[in-house]
Amino acid sequence: MISNSRNETILLGEKIGRLLKGGMCLCLEGDLSAGKTTLAKGIAKGLGVEEIVNSPTFNILKIYEGRLTLYHIDAYRLEGNSYDLGFEECFYDQEGVTLIEWSAYLKDILPKEYLLINIDNLGDNERSFEFVPKGSEYEALIKEIEKC
């Protein structure tokens, strides 16, 4: 999928957020300024989160309440650290959704099934989104996203 503006990226996130179910995990990958946090803002909006969502870089984890609890993790500062931070509790909360920016830094503890979203900055405000499902539930989610 291609987004031509920040607003289109937020709208895509909203569509995704409205379709999410408890216990789901989304992993966002892309270079700095690719649009990970912008997509996260849209996902939060689609989940009914009313708070301002921003990058949790310095906090690592922020929790927002909406239709489902949103666990927003930024793993950028965790590169090379393998100590237990308790994120697994977030991954398996059936009343919540986990969204991880820079998920490659947590690859050893990710759940078996999740949706990987690769974001490429194509210049200006244009972004490319590649959805890679890890599990049948996420294959179905992608089909629903494509229908919207």
Helical segments of 84-135, H only: 87-91
pLDDT at 119 over 80: yes
Q: What percent of the chain has pLDDT over 90?
A: 68
Calculate the average pLDDT of the chain.
91
Phi, psi at 127, each rounded to 5°: -130, 150
Q: Which residues pair with 2 in a beta bridge?
A: 128
Q: Can you list the positions of beta strands (E) in 4-146?
A: 25-29, 61-64, 69-74, 96-101, 114-123, 126-134
Instruction: Give the per-residue SS3 of 72-85.
Output: EEECHHHCCCCCCC
Q: Classify the phi-psi angles of 113: left when phi > 0, otherwise alpha if psi is within -120 to 50, otherwise beta.
A: beta
Query: Region 116-134: what's the mean pLDDT?
Result: 95
In tens, the pLDDT along 25-60 reads 999 999 988 899 999 999 999 999 999 998 766 778
Q: Which two tokens stand for residue 42?
A: 């849209």
- The CATH number of the domain covering residues in 2-147: 3.40.50.300
Structural domain spans, the chain: 2-147
